Amino acid sequence: EDFVREKLRKKMWRLKIGEGGNDPYLYSTNNFLGRQTWEFDPSAGTAEERAEVEEARLNFYNNRYNVQPSSDLLWQMQFLREKKTQQTIPQPKIEDGEEVTYEVTTAAVKRSVHLFSALQSRHGHWPAENSGPMYYIPPLVMSLYITGHLNTIFSREHRKEILRYIYCHQNEDGGWGLSIGVHSTMFCTTLNYICMRLLGVGPDGGLNNACERARKWILDRGAVTTISSWGKTWLSLRQELHTEPYDEIDWSKKRHLCAKEDLHYPHTLLQILLWDSLYLFSEPLLNRWPFNKLRKKALKVAMDLIHYEDENSRYITIGCVEKPLCMLACWVEDPNGIYFKKHLARVVDCLWVGEDGMKLQGVASQSWDASLLLQALLATNLYDEIGPTLMKGHNFLKNSQVRDNPPGDFKRMFRHISKGSWTFADQDHGWQVSDCTAESLKSKNGGYPAWEPAGGAFWWEWLNPIEFLEDLTKEYEHVECTSSSIQALAIFKKLYPGHRKIEIENCIRKAAKFIEDVQYPDGSWYGSWGICFFYGTWFALSGLKAAGKNFKNCLAIRKGVEFLLKTQREDGGWGESYLSCPTRFYLPC
C-alpha cells in the first residue's frame, strides 16, 4: 500500500494558464494571454484524485490498440476539480422506438453547454491537445541532448511521461507510424528508438521490451540506412541500428535509399540527378576558397531569417517541426548566446500532457478551438445561461488579434501582412492563418491557403525531398480555409454593408466558384485538416450557404447533399476511415 501511494504521489501534473514567470528570456505581446504550460507538482491533489489520474492512464494503455487517440482527460479532470463542478442535469435516455422530444433534446444540449462552460479557462479559451504525429517529440529530445540541456530542461518526470507516450503508441509489430494508429515506418521507428535510448532506456529495455522489439523491426527491414532523407539528418546511433560497420557504409550510395514503408512520394529522376550533381560538383567547390565565401554568406542569410522568425514568434516558432532545428542552429552559432536561451525558455510552450503521456503540440490551437466552441455555444440560443462564458470567450478572441505586421521590410524576409489577423494559437505565435482570419491570403483562383499566399510553379513539387509527405514545396488553397473566409466576410458585409462592398462581393463570388470547381464527382469535397471528405463537405456546404447559395440555385449543394444522404449509416450516423486522406477517395470506416 505504501508503494502504491508513493507511486501515485509522483504522478500529478497541472496545467497553468497565462504564466510568464520571472524568466528574463521570456516576453509577450499581450501579457501571455492564453499561454499554456504544464508543471509537475508532487503535492497536488488528494490520494483519491491521484488514483483517478492513474486509472485513466491504465485504462488508456490497456485499450491502446482499440482507441489510439487520448481523450485529453488530465486537464479536464483538473479544471472540474478546481471549479468544483457537478453535473446537475440528468442524462437523457432514449429507448428504441421512443420519440425524441424537444425537452429531451434541450436537456442533452444543456448538459453539454454546462460542461464546456466549466472547462473554459480563466483567460476565456479552451485548452486542448493538438498532436498525433510520432516524429514530433524525438527531434526535440535530440536537440536538447546535443546541446547538453536534456537533463536541465527535462526532469525525471518529464522523461517518464515522454517514455509513457512512446510506449502507449508503439504498434504491435514493434514500430511506430507517421502518426498514432497507422502502419510503422522506418523514419518514426528509428527516431523513437533513438529517443528512448537518449532518455536512458537500455538497448533491450523499455516497457514490454520496447527497444528490443523496435530494433528487430528496423533490422528486419534492411537497417537504418533505408531511413527517409529527413531521418538521415538526425541519425546518431552508429552500431545498434546498422547491419554493417558504420565506418564501412558508403553514404553516397545510400542517399536515395528509402524503406518501402516510408515511400509515399518517391523522388523524381530529375531530383535524383540534381542532388547527385550538387554533391559531386558543388560540394567540393563550396569547401574551397573563394567559393567557401559564398557558403559562408548563404549561412549568414539563413541565420538572419531564423532570428527574424524566432523573434516574431516569441521563440515559439511557426510549429514544433521547426522549433528543434531553429534552436539547434542558434546553439551552433553561440551556445551561450541570448537567442539560444530564449529558445530554451519557450520549450515548455510546446509540450502537452495527457493520459497517454507527454507529447509535442504541432502548434497550440487556442484561437481555433475558442472560435469553434463559441459558435457551437451560440447555436444553442442559451444566452441567458452562459452569458459570462460567451463574454470571456469574446474577450479572448478580441485580445488575441494580431495588432501589427512583422517589423521592418517583412516582404524581404518572405513574410506577409498579418495586422488584423488571428493565429491558430495565441497572439504571441504571430503567424496569421486564413481560416482564423480572411482576406489577405486570397489566391487568384478565389481559394484561400492556410499560412501564406499560394504561389510557385507546379514543378517545384518535383524537388520535394521528403519521401513520406507530399505537397510541401508550395502553398495550396484549401476548401476549409476558403469556406471560413467566405463566412467571415459574409458576416462582416452584413454588419458593415458599406465598407469595400464591391471588393468583398467579388471576393465571396470567386471563393464560392473555387469551392464549386474542386468538388469531387461523387459530390464530396476533400478536407486537408480533418478526416476527410465529411470534414471537407461540411466546410464546403457552410461556405456556399454563406455565399448565398442554396439547394435550389446551386448544383454543387445538391450533389453535396446527395453524397451525405447516400453515405449515412444504418444507425443514423456517419463514419470515415483515416485512409481517405492518403488515398484521396472516400472510404467508410
- Three-class DSSP labels, 317-385: CCCCCHHHHHHHHHHHHCCCCHHHHHHHHCHHHHEEEECCEEEECCCCCHHHHHHHHHHHHHHCCCCCC
Cα–Cα distance, 326 to 339 (Å, whole number): 10
pLDDT of the residue at 95: 84
Average pLDDT for the chain: 90
Cα–Cα distance, 84 to 88 (Å, whole number): 12
State the DSSP H helix or E strand holding residue 17, giving kind and residue range, or none if neither.
strand 13-17
Whether residue 442 has pLDDT greater than 50: no
Residue 14's DSSP bridge partners are 39
Whether residue 6 has pLDDT greater than 60: no
pLDDT grade for 443, boundaries at 50, 70 and 90: very low
Domains and CATH numbers, the chain: 1-72+128-266+314-364 (1.50.10.20), 274-312 (no CATH), 401-583 (1.50.10.20)
pLDDT of the residue at 302: 96
Mean pLDDT comparison of 89-98, 102-111, 549-558, highest-scoring range: 549-558
**Residue of 445 and 382 predicted with greater confidence:** 382
- With a pLDDT cut of 90, the percent of the chain lying above it is 67
State the DSSP H helix or E strand holding residue 15, giving kind and residue range, or none if neither.
strand 13-17
pLDDT grade for 362, boundaries at 50, 70 and 90: very high
Q: What angle do CA 237, 239, 244 make, to 5 degrees?
A: 130
Three-class SS of 63-121: CCCCCCCCCCHHHHHHHHHHCCCCCCCCCCCCCCCCCCCHHHHHHHHHHHHHHHHHCCC
> With 0-12 CB in 10 A as exposed, 13-18 as middle and 19+ as buried, what is 219?
middle
* φ/ψ of residue 61, rounded to 5: -60, -40
Cα–Cα distance, 181 to 178 (Å, whole number): 9
Q: So which residues are the catalytic ones?
A: 435
**Residue of 376 and 450 predicted with greater confidence:** 376
Mean pLDDT comparison of 39-53, 135-149, 214-228, 422-436, highest-scoring range: 135-149
Whether residue 444 has pLDDT greater than 80: no
DSSP secondary structure code for residue 268 in this structure: P
Task: Average the pLDDT over each of 68-82, 89-103, 201-215, 355-369 and give the range with the smallest value.
Answer: 89-103
pLDDT grade for 9, boundaries at 50, 70 and 90: very low
pLDDT grade for 557, boundaries at 50, 70 and 90: very high
List, for residues 108-152, the tens digit of each pLDDT value. 999 999 999 999 999 999 999 999 999 999 999 999 999 999 999
Give Cα 321 to chain centroid, integer Å.
Answer: 10
Q: Are 310 and 330 in contact (CB under 8 A)?
A: yes
3-state secondary structure of 21: coil
SS3 content of the chain, % helix, strand, coil (to 5): 50, 5, 45
